[in-house]
Chain A
């Protein structure tokens, strides 16, 4: 199992009480000197993660204090030079919220070359509340995601001079990217999914399916992927085709770990602080989804635990989040056991993404948590694939 360390690069000093934190939070609340210090410390933490044997995940969000990374390519470009061994996962590039996949292909190819072939390309459509910030169109997003995907892979693999591309979504006269990517034929592709029908298109292309914070019911999604993969490729999907993201906090004592865990969970606590008009732009979800939402009147369905109990992850205590498989937190041994149990329940996953820094978790706490995980948990997980591979359906 590979483990990626992820931070959204939050600016928690501007998590102002009672205010929405996305789209509309005025940037007068951003002190550029504080932001510079934050960027530097998060980069330092990724350098430490690199030394400890983690891989690295970077994302981007827009117009928000929850995530200072508004351009994933900038963070990745820096990490491509200052880290040595870690895979560099962009998860993701919000392709349906970007208007120019040619530019995305150029950025990704440069990062892959500068890092000497360490890039993983995570493609996502983009979150609903950033359709406005990106000024993209909320309808047709899956169509644009897959077309941009096709375009980027063609741009990366076409080596014989310019080609033209003309469709309703994108029009290019002469595509001929320099440099071409280091990894051949192109860097690995990861795609995110949460709903079962989303799994098959990813499996049919042989890409990595990544999913976030879904808890134990994620097994259904992974099995949908495995089924479609087997039908397409006449062989079982290797565990490295699957990735799962959870929150993480480790400390020498369980008590201290839970204090850190609640800080990391600040990510979850703030996730819904989105102004109403931007939560569900028309066309982002299907008509059927919107009929259900209209009927539900804004009620969140909650998450059912293996015990049958239902929780609301946004407000649930960390002990519930651990039980749900949304968070791995405790002493190194406890965290190891939580991950082993979750991995077995999932039928074996090759990639674990941990949010090792979230919310107001300080640099010192993050360094200690990452170091404990890196020295006392990670070495034992490296061999986990082999032990569960036989359990894969």
Chain B
């Protein structure tokens, strides 16, 4: 499906990018901010996407297999997703972009940046999965596939009200997205569980400034895991957002966007990118 709409609104549309029909929304202008969503998809992300649009041109796709995005044959690992996004950045001609990745989106961002930072000027990892820190008897991350839903919800949010979903009020498309998100999460993250054993030893390649922005009450990926991530990144800095669990972009969207704004300011990445961005649609 190809859309020629030039709307800059937040409404996601499905566009063919890098060989995949991708659900994608865009808002704002200036420095590209590629938002890479967590395992629960773009659910609850509207406020933070709007807030981030004050800092640049926010591009927010659903990963292949998530939401309404197709999944091309052969795309079944986070490695494949990283290469998909390298292609997407080429095709959209994103330059000096800032990657903002939450949970599995953070894992994808790190995988992308270990391969190439040619189009990346900075990176924000929030509740990012993807590395192994502990020994064989220590679980780094709570295993969402081995816990009751109520417990996953409790570990995911500081305020459990954010976990409530009114299935009856949701459209079939929304419920289908829920089911697809869950299946895609398992496809990419079942085994090895939510990580690539090779990723941590490759993080030294990421020379761009990186903000590791964690929910202070994250029960799925504890703050110590976030600190280990920051330590493994050459220009990594750890920061925490209070009153937030695993998804600070949902629980504290204003603080989340403000911390990113400050990070861009401090690293000289605020304002427009040095090279104008050419929108490439369809």
Question: Across the interface, which residues of B come within 8 angstroms of A294, CB to CB?
Answer: 167, 175, 178-179
Interface residues of B in 148-173 (CB under 8 A from A): 148-149, 167-168, 172
Of the stretches B181-189, B196-204, B238-246, the one at the interface is B181-189
Which of A277, A287, A295 sits near B147, CB closer than 8 Å? Answer: A277
Interface residues of B in 58-72 (CB under 8 A from A): none
Interface string of B137-150 (1 = CB under 8 A from A): 00000000111110
A280 closest partner in B (C-beta) = B182
Asked whether A283 and B178 contact (CB < 8 A) given A132-B146, A277-B148, A297-B167, the answer is: no
In the complex, whether A364 has a CB less than 8 A from a CB of chain B is no
Chain B at the A interface: mostly helix, strand, loop or mixed? helix
Interface string of A261-284 (1 = CB under 8 A from B): 000000000000001111001110
Contact B183 A139 (CB under 8 A): yes
Most chain B CB atoms below 10 A, which of A139, A276, A278: A139
Question: Across the interface, which residues of A come within 8 angstroms of B149, CB to CB?
Answer: 276-277
In the complex, whether B205 has a CB less than 8 A from a CB of chain A is no
Contact A138 B186 (CB under 8 A): yes
Which of A276, A277, A287 sits near B183, CB closer than 8 Å? Answer: A287
Distance A294 CA – B175 CA, assembled complex (angstroms): 8
Instruction: Give 18 A-B pairs besides A139-B190, A281-B145, A294-B167 with Cβ atoms closer than 8 angstroms.
Output: A135-B191, A137-B186, A137-B190, A137-B191, A138-B190, A139-B186, A277-B145, A278-B146, A282-B183, A283-B186, A283-B187, A287-B179, A287-B180, A287-B183, A291-B176, A295-B167, A295-B168, A297-B167
Interface size range of chain B in the complex: 20 to 34
5 A-B pairs in the complex with CB atoms less than 8 angstroms apart:
A132-B146, A138-B186, A139-B190, A277-B148, A295-B167
Distance A287 CA – B148 CA, assembled complex (angstroms): 20
Question: Across the interface, which residues of B come within 8 angstroms of A139, CB to CB?
Answer: 183, 186-187, 190
A293 closest partner in B (C-beta) = B179
Most chain B CB atoms below 10 A, which of A135, A277, A295: A277
Q: How far is the CB of A14 from chain B (nearest CB, A)?
A: 22
B188 closest partner in A (C-beta) = A139
B179 closest partner in A (C-beta) = A290
Question: Across the interface, which residues of A come within 8 angstroms of B172, CB to CB?
Answer: 291
Distance A290 CA – B179 CA, assembled complex (angstroms): 6
For the complex of A and B, list the 3 residue pairs with the smallest distance between their C-beta atoms, beginning with the closest: A282-B186, A290-B179, A282-B182
Question: Across the interface, which residues of A come within 8 angstroms of B167, CB to CB?
Answer: 294-295, 297
How many A-B pairs have beta carbons closer than 8 Å: the answer is 51
Distance A276 CA – B183 CA, assembled complex (angstroms): 17
Contact A283 B191 (CB under 8 A): no
B180 closest partner in A (C-beta) = A287
Question: Across the interface, which residues of A come within 8 angstroms of B186, CB to CB?
Answer: 137-139, 281-283
Distance A285 CA – B152 CA, assembled complex (angstroms): 21
Interface residues of A in 110-162 (CB under 8 A from B): 132, 135, 137-139
Contact A282 B185 (CB under 8 A): yes
Question: Across the interface, which residues of B come within 8 angstroms of A282, CB to CB?
Answer: 145, 182-183, 185-186
Q: How far is the CB of A299 from chain B (nearest CB, A)?
A: 12
Distance A97 CA – B179 CA, assembled complex (angstroms): 22
Distance A183 CA – B245 CA, assembled complex (angstroms): 60
Distance A132 CA – B146 CA, assembled complex (angstroms): 8
Distance A278 CA – B175 CA, assembled complex (angstroms): 21
Most chain B CB atoms below 10 A, which of A135, A275, A278, A291: A291
Interface residues of B in 76-119 (CB under 8 A from A): none
Contact B183 A283 (CB under 8 A): yes
Most chain A CB atoms below 10 A, which of B148, B182, B191: B182
Which of B148, B168, B187, B191 sits near A275, CB closer than 8 Å? Answer: B148
Question: Across the interface, which residues of B come within 8 angstroms of A290, CB to CB?
Answer: 179, 182-183
Q: How far is the CB of B177 from chain A (nearest CB, A)?
A: 10
Distance A388 CA – B175 CA, assembled complex (angstroms): 47
Most chain A CB atoms below 10 A, which of B145, B176, B183: B183
Question: Across the interface, which residues of B come within 8 angstroms of A275, CB to CB?
Answer: 148
Distance A316 CA – B168 CA, assembled complex (angstroms): 30
Contact A287 B176 (CB under 8 A): yes
B190 closest partner in A (C-beta) = A137
Distance A276 CA – B94 CA, assembled complex (angstroms): 43
Question: Across the interface, which residues of A come within 8 angstroms of B146, CB to CB?
Answer: 132, 277-278
Distance A283 CA – B145 CA, assembled complex (angstroms): 12
B186 closest partner in A (C-beta) = A282
Question: Across the interface, which residues of B come within 8 angstroms of A132, CB to CB?
Answer: 145-146
Most chain A CB atoms below 10 A, which of B172, B176, B179, B185: B179
Question: Across the interface, which residues of B come within 8 angstroms of A137, CB to CB?
Answer: 186, 190-191
Asked whether A291 and B148 contact (CB < 8 A) given A139-B186, A282-B185, A283-B187, the answer is: no
Most chain A CB atoms below 10 A, which of B168, B190, B191: B190
Q: How far is the CB of B104 from chain A (nearest CB, A)?
A: 13
Distance A295 CA – B147 CA, assembled complex (angstroms): 21
Q: How far is the CB of A147 from chain B (nearest CB, A)?
A: 15
Q: How far is the CB of A290 from chain B (nearest CB, A)?
A: 4
Contact B191 A295 (CB under 8 A): no
Distance A278 CA – B149 CA, assembled complex (angstroms): 11
Distance A294 CA – B180 CA, assembled complex (angstroms): 12
Distance A137 CA – B188 CA, assembled complex (angstroms): 10
Most chain A CB atoms below 10 A, which of B147, B185, B187: B187
Interface residues of A in 57-89 (CB under 8 A from B): none
